[in-house]
Chain A
Amino acid sequence: MLDSPINRNEIIKVFPGLKNDKFFKIEDSSPNYNCIAWAAHVTDCWWDKLPHGNRPSIRFDGVKVDWPFDVDFEFSTRVLIEIFTQLSFVICEDGEYEDGFKKVVIYEKDAEATHMARQLTNSTNKGIWTSKLGGWFRITHESPLTIEGNAYGVATIFMKKSMS
């Protein structure tokens, strides 16, 4: 079972803040996409650059090789902001739910981008957050804060996009 106590405990070991998160739920275990793709509603490939030095001699299967748009070839907060700006997001103050907007957040650890999460806007899950944990599980969580810690560092940049 996907949302089993065993799986939940495995995740809580990495993200202890989820222990008391009443919206923590495991939704998917597909290896097909990563957090950045999921923040952009993509579920059939990984969004990443290829490691320097290996490009283009090794092409990884199941990966969207180049960044989605004509942005710099690096996995950084600056570039993630640029990608999501091209997807019509703008930087905003925080992760509070705002009617008519969808929000994403970028995490940083040791000044490096590590993760992205997205706020849900449908009627049943309005305001809670969803994260794809690398090639591992996809989860929901109450706020960006509950997955902060050693793995992803802290939520630093919030962006929003009008749904109208």
Chain B
Amino acid sequence: MPFIIDLPPVDYQNDNTKIEHVVVNGEKNIPSVDFDVFKIDRDIFEDVYFQEKFESLVSAWKGNTVFQSSISKIIEDDNFVEMLKMNKKALLPLIINEIEREPSILVWALNIITGQSVSTKQRYTIEDVCKRWVKLYREQKINFI
């Protein structure tokens, strides 16, 4: 048997909204502003912006190229190229987190950004190199050109 809850109507009283004007009598009374708070807010905003842009570009890139076998076609896709133009300091950890979550050919973006390869004479698979890149990043051993 259904259990029905009947909520009482909401009583809006917009006309009761009270506006207070703060009168400042001299500079001494101005409340101090913690500018660090704004900086943290800005940093968080930037992080969210980069994260969303990255996810959107990677998703579109996968959609266009996921079945491709030609590396040229994969790395010349507009979304991949656009991703490489992102702020490298922000981009690097995003790629590292993504290939840690799901090892993939996205690791080639790291080859392009850093100009480096983690392969040695021994041949590594894509999954191997993803693990190596993550490890090197966590150990702070990745340098930009």
Contacts and interface: CB of A to CB of B under 8 A. Distances in A.
Interface in B62-116: 65-72, 74-76, 103-105, 107-108, 110-112, 115
A51 B123 CA distance: 20
Contacts of A136: 66-67
Contacts of A114: 68-70
B129 A62 contact: yes
Contacts of A82: none
B117 interface: yes
Interface residues of B, number: 31
B75 A61 contact: no
Given A59-B111, A62-B107, A135-B104, A14 B67 contact: yes
A61 B71 contact: no
A157 B55 CA distance: 38
B118 interface: yes
A130 to B, nearest CB: 14
B72 A51 contact: yes
Interface string A102-143: 000000000000111000000000000000111110000000
Residue of B67, B69, B103, B127 most packed against chain A (CB within 10 A): B69
Consensus secondary structure, chain A interface: loop
A148 interface: no
B70 A48 contact: yes
Contacts of B110: 61
Interface string B114-137: 010111000111111100010000
Interface string A42-55: 00111011111000
Given A58-B115, A59-B117, A133 B124 contact: no
B104 A60 contact: no
Given A51-B72, A61-B108, A136-B67, A32 B125 contact: yes
Given A31-B103, A60-B111, 6 more contacts: A30-B126, A45-B123, A46-B105, A51-B71, A61-B117, A114-B68
Interface of A: 14, 30-32, 34-36, 44-46, 48-52, 57-64, 75, 114-116, 132-136, 151-152
